[in-house]
Amino acid sequence: MKRPWLLSTKGQRFSILLSLVISVGMTLAVVIFAQVTMAPREQISQLNPAAISYCELSQCTPIESLGGLELVPDPDYYMITEGRWFTTVTMRFLNQGQLNGDRELRLMLRSSTGTIVEMAKQVVNFHPKGRMFVDFTFTGSPAELRSGTVYLGY
């Protein structure tokens, strides 16, 4: 009776060579994946108080000067929570540019006539992955926020 092919010397050499090629391919895939996910992260620049750019919330997505930081409209651009002494505006961002570090963002509320009603600022800690929730605190009422126009400063 003839021996099975894989038990022969030629079959064993072939199986070792095949396993070597598969392991090299898998190692190469892991190295490429690590390079692609780790390399593009960059430290975020700080806000320059002399040159703050403001945009109306519906026109802010994505912010190219911040590496494609995207304000997520779900279902609106911000959520209002009324507290006893203050009103909290929560905004959801998506960090497309995988930025790291802290940066100050500002929120400005203008009335229908264009005058500044109130401003708020918040230092945001940027994480490379996932959604970020940023809370801004205002002393005005939710009705004021809904009736005015909200601008994001970056």
Stated pTM of the model: 0.66
For the chain, what is the mean pLDDT? 83
Q: 99 pairs with which residues across the strands? A: 42
Q: CATH second-level architecture of 42-153? A: Sandwich (2.60)
What is the tens place of the pLDDT at every residue in 16-44? 999 999 999 999 999 998 887 766 666 67
Strand locations in the chain, DSSP E? Answer: 42-43, 54-56, 69-71, 79-82, 87-95, 99-110, 116-126, 131-138, 149-153
Spatial contact of 51 and 108, defined as CB atoms under 8 Å apart? no
Nearest Cα residue to 74 out of 55, 57, 51: 57
